[in-house]
Amino acid sequence: MNKFLVLASLLAFTGFANAACATNAAADPNNASGCLCNAGYYGTDASASTGSCSPCSGNTSSTPGTTNTGVGINVGACNICVAGYYVSAIANTASSGTAATCSQCTGYATPSPQLKTASSNVGACNGCMLGYYYAAAAASASVTPTCTQCPQYSSTTTIQTSAGFCTCFDTNANSLSSTVSTCACKSGYKGTPAQTANAASTCTSNAVILSIFAALLSFVFII
């Protein structure tokens, strides 16, 4: 019984020792008793008891850490842009601070990586947003690459900054390419491929179909 009491006490102490964080904040991975505002938020204190995290606005965002949480932090912590936007005027952390100015990319392009430095045009949008593939490079440094929407039942897993294709959701579907633009079950499989990401394959192996057919035939002859 004493062992159980000790174990319960240790678990309770561990739970107490872990930081209780404000809304839109999480425990600091480098300090179990500390909290950091989440990406897209900022604040001087992220603890649940005395702090709060304010949201970035105007399509700006922030990076969790000492740059968005701590003494003296202000809206200037919102120094990068969300996907599909680039920094056209940098943030300022002096005095009360000002967030970065974010301008929209064109043609489903996005910067990769997102930079704090300002650009004078959409040429900063060097990649394609998720769900779009990099079909052609930008014609000049001041325009975006050609980003084409993925075919039905497919997407991209990362922001593409060079020529590439989408990937079908179904692991047993064909590979998409410049000549294959439709997701279908690959050779040796039948059916309709999975229609959502992370779904189980709905393409059935021909070998499985044949084995089921053989089993049915055997059952018929037995009867």
For 81-131, what is each residue's pLDDT tens digit? 999 999 999 999 998 899 999 999 999 999 999 999 999 999 999 999 999
pLDDT of 211 strictly over 70: no
What whole-number distance in Å separates Cα of residue 129 and Cα of residue 135? Answer: 12
Distances (CA, A) of 56 to 9, 90, 99: 40, 14, 8
- Local confidence band at 18 (pLDDT 50, 70, 90 cut-offs): low
What's the predicted TM-score (pTM) here?
0.81
Pair 209, 190: CB distance under 8 Å? yes
φ, ψ of residue 19 in degrees (nearest 5): -65, 140
| The two structure tokens encoding residue 39 | 């990406």
Query: Under 8 Å CB-to-CB from 181, ≥6 apart: which residues?
Result: 151
What does the buried/exposed string (b/e) look like for 79-105 if buried means 16 or more CB atoms within 10 Å of the residue's CB? bbbebbbbbbeebebeeebbbbbbbeb
